[in-house]
Amino acid sequence: MDVQAETKTHELVIERRFDAPPELLFKMWTEPEHIVRWWGCPMMRANKVTNDLRVGGGFRSEMTLEDGVEHTLFGTYREIEPPTRVSFTWTWENETMGRGYETLVTVMLAADGDGTMMTLRHEFFEDADMRDQHNEGWTASVDRLSGIVAEG
């Protein structure tokens, strides 16, 4: 199992290899019966997932943590290209904190021998403009800044 991760200030990129074909990984990401088996933070006790798998369709995940606190996670599918790519918006909501930021999750799946190399990008954006600017890519300056901040 390979784990590579890179942190920039605005996004999280995680690369990871799984011993399963892309078709199976795609099901893991898009079918509620599978999603409930693995999504969630370390504190998660139960997860109820519903979705409408089409571009513009929504999903909803109601998670109960070990301490009984409930978190809802919801979003809208932006891209669905089986078995290589799925992207969706992602917003948290709970009773005490209210609604969180809208973020964007993009999952890319590439066959790698008998397995799959998965790249997950989770990025912050406020609106379409900002997302597009993010897609232009970030300069090396931010990478260096991140390094400076991490050291400081």
Q: Where along the sequence are the contacts to another protein (CB under 8 A)? A: 1, 5, 7-12, 14, 16, 18-21, 23-25, 27-28, 34, 37-42, 100-101, 103, 120, 122, 124-126, 130, 133-134, 136, 138-139, 141-142, 144-146, 148-150, 152
Provide the minimum distance between the beta carbon of 69 and another protein in the complex, in angstroms, as a whole number.
15
Least Å distance between CB 149 and another protein? 5
Given the complex with another protein, which of 54 and 97 has the nearer CB atom? 97
For residues 115, 46, 86, 118, the Cα torsion angle rounded to the nearest 10 degrees is -30
Tell me the closest approach of the beta carbon of residue 57 to another protein, in angstroms.
Answer: 22
**Whether the Cβ atoms of residue 23 and residue 83 lie closer than 8 Å to each other:** yes
The nearer residue to another protein, 37 or 48, going by C-beta atoms, is 37
Nearer to another protein, 63 or 77 (CB): 63
* Cross-strand partners of 119: 15, 108
Nearer to another protein, 1 or 56 (CB): 1
Q: Are 16 and 121 in contact (CB under 8 A)?
A: no
Return the amino acid letter for 26. Answer: F
CB of 64 to another protein, least distance (A): 15
> Is residue 83 reached through a cis peptide bond, with omega within 30 degrees of 0 on the bond before it?
yes
Helix, strand, or coil (residue 137): coil
* Cβ neighbours of residue 74 closer than 8 Å, sequence gap 6 or more: 58, 59, 60, 61, 91, 93
Q: How far is the CB of 111 from another protein (least distance, A)?
A: 12
Q: Which is nearer to another protein, 2 or 55 (CB)?
A: 2
